[in-house]
Structure 1
Amino acid sequence: MFEKVLVANRGEIAVRVMRACEELGVGTVAVYSEADKYSGFVRYADEAYNIGPARAADSYNDGDAVIEAAKKADADAIHPGYGFMAENADFAARVEETDGITWIGPSSEAMERLGEKTHARQVMRDADVPIVPGTTEPVTDVQQIKDFGEEHGYPVLIKAEGGGGGMGQEVVEGPEAAEEALETAQREGEAYFSNASVYLERFLDNPRHIEVQILADKHGNVRHLGERDCSLQRRQQKVIEEGPSPAITDELREKIGEAARRGAEAGDYYNAGTFEFLVEDEDRNDEGLLDTDADFYFLEVNTRIQVEHTVTEQLTDIDIVKWQIRVAAGEELTFEQDDVELEGHAMEFRINAENAAKEFAPATGGSFDVYDPPGGIGVRIDDAHRQGDDLVTDYDSMIAKLITSGEDRAECIARGKRALADYDIQGFPTIIPFHRMMLTDDPFLEGRHTTKYLDEEMDHDRIEAAQQRWGTETEPSGDDDEEVVEREFTVEVNGKRFQVDLEERGAPAIPTGGDGSGGGQAQRPQPGRGGSDGDSDGGVSAEGQEITAEMQGTILEVNVAEGDEVAAGDVLCVLEAMKMENDIVAENAGTVTHVEVSEGESVDMGDTMFVLD
């Protein structure tokens, strides 16, 4: 077994991996960006190292920095969690080639075969696993999309080879939309996965999203741990996951599970992974379920742990993360396929810092003024923060996961209603009101929802009503009258984090410096790159209409240059925030006198991006 594992991730998944390590008697190392200096996962680790600024490309996606931190810490393994570099085969290969450090995941060769979508489709086809009609080679030309649409019909789905989480996916409704969709999918693929390669699939009209959890060792043993139903999605991103699926028979469940096992064996796959399928939601049997005659198609392989792995753990009582670590250490699975039983029902509710009534817009700031999670029988919380923490908005909007389980789906839902009502988070909006509403929604309760339900069928007024009824105040609370009596100081020496506790009684609050060497809560920077008085510290002093960033994000595309004439409504740039692209437009006509941003640059809320005269 390993002595020390570096977790190359952040947030709740980092804490989840660290807890598994702790139970195995393994030390833990966190790596963190400047934005996460005071985050809970950093506090949880045995030791922690700063690996760069907030921008993910300069920190969590900087392979050199991560490996260097592992060497400094004398870690003998790296666990990537999910997201960031978890499915980066090149990074996995670099870890494998580093003396004394083990990659906790599938081999880089298997990641290359199954993580790249076109390669995976070829493997599945050879293993007699049904695949959606599509291309098995990358698409680079708009005409290829038009030819595919003529052959298979529209809509056509463009997908990034390295994609996941709904990113790098564009639906082409007709040939006139092909060029823009191709450019967007390629740009997102490059931005999120360092891979601009895309491929095509026939867009299934109304499917269910069913995925199978795989666990395999290096000794040739492959097991599937049942399926999860992830059909409740908005903009191709999962919101609620559950298992077993309320829409399929046991016979179809086994048929899909065995297809996943065949695919894993054909791909020479070990460690944890998820094989995702789309099931056509047509021709249900007399019991209202999809049976073995239902068409299902391989979608993709996620060569990592999944956000929703918790559902399977609740159903099987198998700790998937521990087994990831054990398999990487060379251990053999100790259970047979027949030993795997799904008991009861489980659901996972993603607790996102978003306002569902505003098209799931992510929160742009705030702090955990109140954080009081639920408990009781059948309730599990995976999180990484505590009351008083600042909300970090530089990355994904998910702040926690609530998992409920019960003897059957009805009891699981009843516990979900109770737990969501008890979950008190104040200081920014969350989608808890949306989840509470969904547990009263007839199509969801009856298991009739598909991947299109939220985007195309849900009555938006119901979401707004839920937010008004159950939403909490979102304005950050002031602390002018608050006296500080205890303080946690964070000190960095040669990039390594140390924490010092100081107690002051009857003394005024200790000021926190802005250089990162102060207390436990970082002072928020003032909006904008410079002061309002136009000092020489980088602020914009030119007269004119300033176009500022409404949220923290990364500039994906700049469409204007200084001197350009623009009309009202013209797109000045594309700003990515929380996995969504936002067009920044000119409110009025004018001349661009200053361009303060460039492609790939990170901006904070309030930063000046353009000046119009």
Structure 2
Amino acid sequence: MFDKVLVANRGEIAVRVMRACEELGVETVAVYSEADKHSGHVRYADEAYNVGPARAADSYLDQEAIVDAAKQADADAIHPGYGFLAENADFAERVENTEGVTWVGPESGAMEQLGEKTKARKIMQSADVPIVPGTTDPVDDPEEVVEFGEEYGFPVAIKAEGGGGGRGMKIVHDPEEAEDQLESAKREGEAYFSNDSVYLERYLENPRHIEVQVIADHAGNVRHLGERDCSLQRRHQKVIEEGPSAALSDELREQIGEAARRGVREADYYNAGTVEFLVEEDPDRDPDEVLGPDANFYFLEVNTRIQVEHTVTEEITGIDIVKWQLRVAAGEDLAFEQDDVEIEGHAIEFRINAENAANDFAPANSGTLETYDPPGGIGVRMDDALRQGDDLVTDYDSMIAKLIVYGSDRDEAIDRGRRALAEYDIQGFPTVIPFHRLMLTDQTFVDSLHTTKYLDETLDEERIDEAQAKWGSESESQPDDEEVTEREFTVEVNGKRFEVELEERGAPAIDVGDVDASGGGGGQRPDRPGGSDGSSDGGGSSTEGQEVSAEMQGTILEVNVAEGDEVESGDVLCVLEAMKMENDIVAERGGTVTEVAIAEGDSVDMGDRLFVLD
């Protein structure tokens, strides 16, 4: 087993990996950006290293900085968690080529093959895994989209090869949309995955999203750990995940699981991964019926990493997937056979996002955890990295925690979820807890008749508003003017973080911010319950004319105008990505662009000035 693992991630998944390491007797190293210097994963780790500014491209996506941190810390392995660089085959190869450092994940070549959707489809075809009708070669011409739609029917899905979770996917409903949607999908693919290659698939009208957890070792042993149902989605983003699926018969469940094993074995894959499928739902199915062995299911994609919802599988199998990731990476063989995997009970995971579901799930742009009181009791698991008093970090994904409940069956899991969500008290910014409470009273979800389109196309939005009004809290955190006598400093020496605690008696604390030390020195593990308080002031300015501001936190994908340009009402000024969706920022009235305050690739917060028009 390894001596020290660097976790190339942040937040709850970083803490999740670190907990597994600690149980295995392995020391841990955190990396953090300037925005995360006081975050929970930094407090938890044995060591922590600063890898750059808040912008992910300059920190968590900086491959060289992360590998350098591993070298400085003498870490002998890197675990990527999920997101950021977790599915980046180039980064995996870089780690593989770094002497003395092991990549905790699949081999980079397998990642590259399965990460690019057209290559993955070919592998699955050769393994006799059903695939959705589509192309196996990249598409560049809008006419190809039109021809495909004429052959298989509209709508058509255009998907980025490196994409996932809806990012880089565009839907073409008629031939007139082909050119614009193709361009948009290619742009997203280039922006997020450095790969503008796209392919086509028939867009299924009533699909369920079923995924199979797999784990494989270097000796070629492949096991599947059952399926998860991730059909409750908003804009292709999973919201609630559960396992096993209440919609599948045992025969269909076995077919899908074995298909996943065949595909993974065909790709010479090892370590953890998830094979995702779309299962065609029967719109006339009764709640007491299940989908039989004749139901159509199709390969969707492979996620070559741990999943957010891996917790569901851990609860129903008793298998610690993260520990097995580490063991496989260290060269151990799987210690259990396929027949040893037993699925018992039912588990549901609720993603706790800092979003207001009643405001189109808009992410919170600021806040402090005035109250953080998570639920407990039998059958309740919390994966988080938070403590009361933490500031909300808005530079990254809005998910702040995960609540997982387990029951002897689905009914008990739902009842336990209702209880746990009612206990969960978060004050300081809005969360989606009211939405989750609503869903556990929603008959379509309770009957497990929902598809991936249910939230976007069927659920009455007024019910979300009512739930937010009934159970939500949007209190804004207030500055704390109370005098304090204990202070903590964050000191960085050669990019490594240390905590220094001081006491001042008989005088108010002075906000000195962080201290950068240029000299050498030593430090010890930060105290987990503690942490330092920091604040920053952002300056503002006023400009004559109409100011166009960001309505949400996100990243600028494209700037369409320059200073001096004349624009009309409705013209697209720029494209802002937020929550993995492209949003056109348009001019509310005509005028002359007198200021362009942003550039392609910039990260912006809600309220930031983007343009000024006269």
Q: Give TM-score, length-normalised by structure 1.
A: 0.95
Residues 286 and 98 (structure 1), Cα distance of their counterparts in 2 relative to 1, 3 Å cut: closer
The equivalences for 1:35-434 within 5 A come to: 35-282=35-282, 284=285, 287-434=288-435
- The answer to whether residue 25 in structure 2 is matched with residue 28 in structure 1 is no
Residues 286 and 548 (structure 1), Cα distance of their counterparts in 2 relative to 1, 3 Å cut: closer
The answer on whether the counterparts of 1:527 and 1:606 sit within 8 Å (CA) in structure 2 is: no
Structure 1 CA distance, aligned partners of 2:516 and 2:139? 46
Letter of the 2:87 partner, please give it. E
Q: Secondary structure at the match of 1:86?
A: coil
The answer on whether the counterparts of 2:142 and 2:178 sit within 8 Å (CA) in structure 1 is: yes
Return 5+ residue gaps in structure 2 as ranges. 518-530
Letter of the 1:327 partner, please give it. V
Query: Which has the larger displacement, 13-22 or 543-552?
Result: 543-552
User: 1:437 Cα deviation (Å)?
Assistant: 0.4
Structure 1 CA distance, aligned partners of 2:557 and 2:336? 47
Residues 582 and 484 (structure 1), Cα distance of their counterparts in 2 relative to 1, 3 Å cut: farther
Residues 82 and 394 (structure 1), Cα distance of their counterparts in 2 relative to 1, 3 Å cut: same
Structure 2 CA distance, aligned partners of 1:574 and 1:505? 52
Letter of the 1:378 partner, please give it. G
The answer on whether the counterparts of 1:573 and 1:585 sit within 8 Å (CA) in structure 2 is: yes
The Cα offsets for residues 391-437 of structure 1, whole Å up to 9 and x where unpaired, read as 11111110000000010111111110010000011111100000000
Q: Secondary structure at the match of 1:163?
A: strand
The Cα offsets for residues 571-607 of structure 1, whole Å up to 9 and x where unpaired, read as 2111223323232222232111121211112233443
Q: Secondary structure at the match of 1:2?
A: coil
Indicate the percent of aligned positions where both proteins have the same amino acid: 74
Structure 2 CA distance, aligned partners of 1:527 and 1:364? 16
The answer on whether the counterparts of 2:365 and 2:605 sit within 8 Å (CA) in structure 1 is: no
Structure 2 CA distance, aligned partners of 1:315 and 1:194? 37
The answer on whether the counterparts of 2:189 and 2:195 sit within 8 Å (CA) in structure 1 is: yes
Q: Secondary structure at the match of 1:592?
A: strand
Return 5+ residue gaps in structure 1 as ranges. 533-541
Q: Secondary structure at the match of 2:226?
A: strand
Q: Which residue of 2 aligns with 1:440?
A: 441
Q: Give TM-score, length-normalised by structure 2.
A: 0.95
Letter of the 1:522 partner, please give it. G
Structure 2 CA distance, aligned partners of 1:102 and 1:185? 34
Q: Which residue of 1 aligns with 2:507?
A: 507
The answer on whether the counterparts of 1:512 and 1:523 sit within 8 Å (CA) in structure 2 is: no
Residues 525 and 186 (structure 1), Cα distance of their counterparts in 2 relative to 1, 3 Å cut: farther
Residues 527 and 209 (structure 1), Cα distance of their counterparts in 2 relative to 1, 3 Å cut: farther
The answer on whether the counterparts of 2:575 and 2:584 sit within 8 Å (CA) in structure 1 is: yes
Structure 1 CA distance, aligned partners of 2:190 and 2:211? 26
The answer on whether the counterparts of 1:380 and 1:403 sit within 8 Å (CA) in structure 2 is: yes
The Cα offsets for residues 198-251 of structure 1, whole Å up to 9 and x where unpaired, read as 111100010111000001111111100000000000000000000010101111
Q: Secondary structure at the match of 2:167?
A: coil
Q: Which residue of 1 aligns with 2:523?
A: none
Q: Which residue of 2 aligns with 1:573?
A: 574
Query: Which has the larger displacement, 503-512 or 33-42?
Result: 503-512
Aligned residues: 600
User: 1:504 Cα deviation (Å)?
Assistant: 3.0
The answer on whether the counterparts of 2:248 and 2:291 sit within 8 Å (CA) in structure 1 is: yes
Q: Secondary structure at the match of 1:399?
A: strand
Structure 1 CA distance, aligned partners of 2:287 and 2:612? 64
- The answer to whether residue 19 in structure 2 is matched with residue 19 in structure 1 is yes
Give the number of the structure with larger relative contact order, counting CA–CA contacts within 8 Å between residues 6 or more apart: 2
Letter of the 1:566 partner, please give it. V
Q: Which residue of 2 aligns with 1:536?
A: none
Q: Secondary structure at the match of 1:572?
A: strand
Q: Secondary structure at the match of 1:99?
A: coil
Structure 2 CA distance, aligned partners of 1:516 and 1:589? 48
* RMSD (Å) for aligned C-alpha atoms: 1.6
Letter of the 2:567 partner, please give it. V
User: 1:141 Cα deviation (Å)?
Assistant: 1.7
User: 1:85 Cα deviation (Å)?
Assistant: 0.8
The answer on whether the counterparts of 2:247 and 2:448 sit within 8 Å (CA) in structure 1 is: yes
Q: Which residue of 1 aligns with 2:470?
A: 469
The Cα offsets for residues 523-551 of structure 1, whole Å up to 9 and x where unpaired, read as 133254xx55xxxxxxxxx5323223333
Q: Secondary structure at the match of 1:512?
A: coil
